[in-house]
Amino acid sequence: MADEPGIFEIMYSTRAMRRLKPDPIPEATLKKIVDAGIRCASGGNMQDWAFIIVQDEERKRFIRDYYWNTWQQIRSGGTLNYDDIPAPQQRMLNAAAHLAAHLDEAPAVLLACTRDHYPPIASMGNERASRIVIYGSIFPAVQNILLACRALGVGATLTTIHCFFEDQLKEKLNIPDDMEVAALIPMGYPQGKFGPVTRKPVEEVIHWDEWGNTRA
């Protein structure tokens, strides 16, 4: 434990790792990662989540095929001229394309699943509030998972492209009708290195007391 990086070092260097080695991740490591995920807060302490770790080659190819086809549609249907975007964003898009093409080579693909509504609030007719409670539970778990991956030297990235083929994905993996897949997380030991993430200065994103009231 003493050799693991501190929490702030982990948070400041948890990059989206999209180029992954095919080397297997030990089962004990996968369990530890998910166990860290479920230590987050849960709305009403209902813990209406489940995590599918896909390692089967045929199922990974199934996900890769749908993911790659969707990625191609997004690229061809967009209005963004990729030749005009900054170099860092081009590198990110190239890495995303690599992930889409090689998703099945990741040793594990984790699906973070959650109930599709929060019964106590859904019964009151406020669908937005119901879904916020659901997402307010599953995405902290996903972030814990990403941080645990970083702490254990496992590369990972949060993806949501699966939303375009979620029905087929749920059928393939026998996911119940009242559950949804909130995030798809390819995991593997990274080909590159973890490093600092580039973000806006914190002063630019804090509003004091009301919107627009910033401090230098």
Query: What pLDDT digit, counting tens, does each position of 57-104 carry?
Result: 999 999 999 999 999 988 887 655 666 777 777 788 888 999 999 999
Distance CA 18, CA 155 (A): 8
The mean predicted confidence, pLDDT, of the chain is 91
CATH architecture label of 7-204: 3-Layer(aba) Sandwich (3.40)
**Residue 123 has what DSSP assignment?**
T
pLDDT of residue 3: 64
Residue 141 has pLDDT above 60, yes or no: yes
| C-alpha closest to that of 135 among 157, 112, 156, 158 | 112
Its pTM surpasses 0.85: yes
What's the CA angle centered on 134, arms 146 and 45, to 5 degrees? Answer: 90
